[in-house]
Amino acid sequence: MPPSSQSVDPSSQRTVPMQVLALGFSRTGTASLKIALEELGYVRTEHGFAVWSSPAKIDMWTRAIQAKVSGASPYGRAEWDQLLGDCMAVTDSPCIIFSEELIKAYPEAKVVLTNRSLDSWWKSYEATLVAERKAFLLNSWLNGKQHGTFGRLLFVGMFGTEQVTEEIAKARYLAHYEAIRRLVPKNRLLEYDVKEGWEPLAAFLEKEAPATAFPSVNTKEDILQYFATLRRALLWRWTKKLAGPLAIMALAVCMYRRA
């Protein structure tokens, strides 16, 4: 039995066809690709950032990752339709943790594998998501246990461990890409670098390439700025959280001294 089959709403159904599975690792242009796919008409395209705003989705993704890492049965089509029924495409984590399951659930979907040189990818991943992991997890826990558990499990689901090293990360990256190549027929698979722009992507998806520039978002500088903003927000939240107890302690000390 799938790990969340009892939680599936029987009235839940797919409202749009799942047409594109973009299964490249985070930091290979997945955010830019999300925007590009939506410009090509694949609305909505799921991306990791969007998951955090939906408590119901976080619960289901959390159970899915827990099942995956424990070796339990994966979700079936009903669960994926509940999670992704309004999506025409997916990209980024947590979706890529379930690449094999999604390929099986949506055999008609085309698969895009965003590539980046291994050393370049690790340099970017380590400098952003690994380096800022503690701030990311602390912010997740401050948003509640649900977010905290999900944030921790993302690393476990991606790498099999919370302690991500260069050796572990690169080995998992290479294994993931080789698995996709084995699972997907060549006529359904596009290996793609977002620096190539619209033409290869549009041709593969049989769409007309837009005249606008290909999106370029969530650069290393963008994400480091995001985490800097996050750290400032965390500091302010902790300051407000501690202000009350500290004020009470100060008042108690003052009253004790006057006694």
Please spell the DSSP secondary structure of 66-127, one letter per residue.
Answer: HHHHHTPPPP-HHHHHHHHTT-SEE-STTGGGGHHHHHHH-TTSEEEEE---HHHHHHHHII
Question: C-alpha distances in angstroms, 83 versus 19, 24, 73, 96, 131?
Answer: 15, 20, 17, 14, 30
pLDDT in tens, 40-53: 999 999 998 777 77
The sign one gets for the Cα dihedral 14, 16, 19, 21 is negative
Whole-angstrom distance, CA of residue 153 vs CA of residue 257: 49
The whole-number pLDDT of residue 127 equals 86
pLDDT value at residue 135: 64
H or E element that contains 189: strand 189-192
Closest CA to 234 of 222, 246, 242, 244: 242
Q: Please report the pLDDT score of residue 4 as a whole number.
A: 41
Q: What is the pLDDT of residue 224?
A: 62
What's the predicted TM-score (pTM) here?
0.80
CA–CA distance, 188 with 112 (Å, rounded to integer):
8
- Residue 15 CB partners (closer than 8 Å, separation 6+): 85, 86
pLDDT (tens place) for every residue of the chain, 259 residues total? 334 434 444 345 899 999 999 999 999 999 999 999 999 999 999 998 777 777 788 889 999 999 999 988 778 999 999 999 999 999 999 999 999 999 999 999 999 999 999 999 999 999 888 876 766 666 666 666 777 788 889 889 999 998 899 999 999 999 999 999 999 999 999 999 999 999 999 999 999 999 999 999 866 666 666 666 655 665 666 576 666 665 566 555 565 555 5
Please list the alpha-helical segments (H only) found in the chain.
Answer: 30-39, 48-51, 55-70, 77-84, 99-105, 118-125, 133-142, 145-159, 166-183, 198-205, 220-258
Residue 241: predicted pLDDT: 64
The pLDDT score that the predictor gives to residue 34 is 96
Q: Residue 7: what pLDDT?
A: 45
Instruction: Tell me the C-alpha distance between 243 and 241, whole Å.
Output: 6
